[in-house]
Amino acid sequence: DGGITQSPKYLFRKEGQNVTLSCEQNLNHDAMYWYRQDPGQGLRLIYYSQIVNDFQKGDIAEGYSVSREKKESFPLTVTSAQKNPTAFYLCASARTGSTGELFFGEGSRLTVL
């Protein structure tokens, strides 16, 4: 089945540790996105990538890093510099040059203790 797979679903980390969230898609989509969802704040764009080996900062990129070495993969690293990392993280993808409709993964909930 085509889709987007995020892992892990739940993750606990101690303060000061970096953590990497995985996002893989087999939809052959060019564009991929990372959002953070917090209650009352909707989905806020962290990073997005329109093609391999290229990505752009979103509105809240500070304390996060990404890479796009393969079309299918867009991992997000939450670094120790992120001041409030506990959140629900959503990965999405879309075909570029189309309507831009996003397809979402199931999300990863990160809790920093």
Partner 1 sequence: AQSVSQHNHHVILSEAASLELGCNYSYGGTVNLFWYVQYPGQHLQLLLKYFSGDPLVKGIKGFEAEFIKSKFSFNLRKPSVQWSDTAEYFCAVNGDNDMRFGAGTRLTVKP
Contact assessment for residue 110 and residue 21, using Cβ atoms and an 8 Å cutoff: yes
- Interface with partner 1, residue 106, by CB under 8 A: yes
| Contact status: 33 vs partner 1 (CB under 8 A) | yes
Select from 31, 76, 91, 112 the one that contacts partner 1 (CB under 8 A): 31
Query: Distance between CA atoms of 104 and 89, rounded to whole angstroms?
Result: 11
- 64 touches partner 1 (CB under 8 A): no
Among residues 1, 15, 54, 101, which is the contact residue for partner 1, using CB under 8 A? Answer: 101
- Edge to edge, what strands does the sheet with 64-66 contain? 4-7, 19-25, 76-78, 64-66
- Token pair, residue 81, equals 């510099």
Residues in contact with partner 1 by the rule CB under 8 A:
31, 33, 35, 40-45, 48, 50, 56, 58-59, 90, 92, 94, 96, 99-102, 104, 106-107
